[in-house]
Amino acid sequence: MKKNSFKIISGGSITSPAGFRSSGICAGLKKSGKPDMALISSEVPAKASAAFTSCLFAAAPVVYDKEIISRGKPVSAVIINSGNANACTGRKGLANTRMMAKTTASLLGIKSGSVLVSSTGRIGVQMPMEKIGNGIRKAVSALSTKGGHAAAAAIMTTDTRPKEIAVSIVISGKKVTIAGMTKGAGMIAPGMNAVPHATMLAYVTTDAAIELRLLDKLLAEGTELSFNRITVDGDMSTNDTLIVMANGQSGNKTIKSGTCEAAIFREALLHVLQHLAKAIVLDGEGVTKFVTVKVLNAPTVKDATVCAKAIANSLLCKTAWFGGDPNWGRVMAAAGYSGASFNPDKASLYYEKTPVVKNGQDAGTPEKKLAGIVQRKSFTITLDLKSGIHSSEVWTNDISYEYVKINADYHT
């Protein structure tokens, strides 16, 4: 087995890479009084790449950030609030987003065009700008190289725990660190378009020196293999955002496309992105099961992916998993209506490595044995279409009574 070229940093956070500070404070946006504003700041301008929701009702911060990222200019900070999504708020919402960037920039002594903005929370409510302004001032004052954990806690909404990771690699004899944090527990089915193109919010910092074009490429590829492969409830948010900042403070020689260094960086970045993506599913609203859905031997990657997502998003499948019911007919039905191209008479299904369906028919495995598998906290469903050579994988969960309760009562 190949050994990873990266090392996990114990207790790592978004500020583990050199030259980054962060903070998480209470601005008074949440009725609960919990932390609700975070700030990430680089000591020097950083190369930035991003991916955003493809929802037509993109929130004001998404519209603003796309504009900034499209310029290809360095970015120095990201101001983030939870408790209000600033989505479906019209021109006033966009003006408020620009004011958030301007206020943050002024307090940091940088250009407003070098500040990105993210918001998450309730849709359709204008931002309380007095609280926002006071919160930004507190966030700037609280900036620290040890502020990563506080930032990860401040961006949460219905999450039950912060989600963060940091890894290190060696590039041209220098230690390079990549770190990330994310939030998201419901309204998760990102489908983000990359570069430039509640929600899932994710942030990655690195002290690597790397070509911007390569960073764009690796983020686009990594997004497709991580956040675009998860679904909690099949609902895409108005605010989905993934931002990566690379400030070059590790002192390594600039990583260029096609090099061994690029491959090492890619592996570490993908691990960070996939770890964060899986953490969202594991902390999904009311989740009791983590389910990996694999589709093998499809005519195209698109066929494999749409098939896997149809199974992963099926409410009948998800509720059966919650009940520990091996009801494989629901899996096959979802595959059948997914739009994927395959011959149903060739398809075979497995729960873990146990045969469930063979060539489109019951494989004869006792239901009790199958039930024992789907009653586990984590299991894998594999559908072999035998219609091509392409595969895909999606990470999902069950739907429980608690999910309904959370979303019936939800009001930030």
Contacts of 119 (CB under 8 A, 6+ apart): 59, 60, 61, 80, 81, 82, 84, 85, 86, 87, 97, 127, 239
- CA 375, 346, 300, 270 torsion-angle sign: positive
Phi and psi at 226, nearest 5°, equal: -135, -85
Segments of the chain assigned to CATH 3.60.70.12: 7-282
Which active-site residues does the annotation give?
199
Q: Which of 25-34, 146-155, 171-180, 352-361 has the lowest mean pLDDT?
A: 25-34
pLDDT in tens, 209-266: 999 999 999 999 999 999 888 887 655 678 889 999 999 999 999 999 999 999 999 9
Ranges for all domains in the chain classified under CATH 3.10.20.340? 290-409
Quote the tokens at residue 161. Answer: 């725990």
pLDDT tens across 14-62, in order? 999 999 999 999 999 988 899 999 999 999 999 999 999 888 888 999 9
The token pair at 357 is 């369906």
Please tell me the class of the 290-409 domain: alpha beta
Q: What is the Cα–Cα distance from 152 to 148, expressed in whole angstroms?
A: 6
Report pLDDT for 184. 73
Residues with Cβ within 8 Å of residue 78, at least 6 apart in sequence: 39, 40, 115, 116, 117, 118, 203, 243, 245
**Mean pLDDT confidence for 165-185:** 94
CB 178 within 8 A of CB 249: no
- Dist CA 231 CA 384 (whole Å): 21
C-alpha to C-alpha distance for 322 and 318, rounded to whole angstroms: 6
SS3 state of residue 69 = helix
CATH topology of domain 7-282: L-amino peptidase D-ALA esterase/amidase (3.60.70)
pTM of the model: 0.90
- For 265-308, how does the pLDDT look when each residue is reduced to its tens digit (9 = 90+)? 999 999 999 999 999 888 877 789 999 999 999 999 999 999 99
| Secondary structure (3-state) at 250 | coil
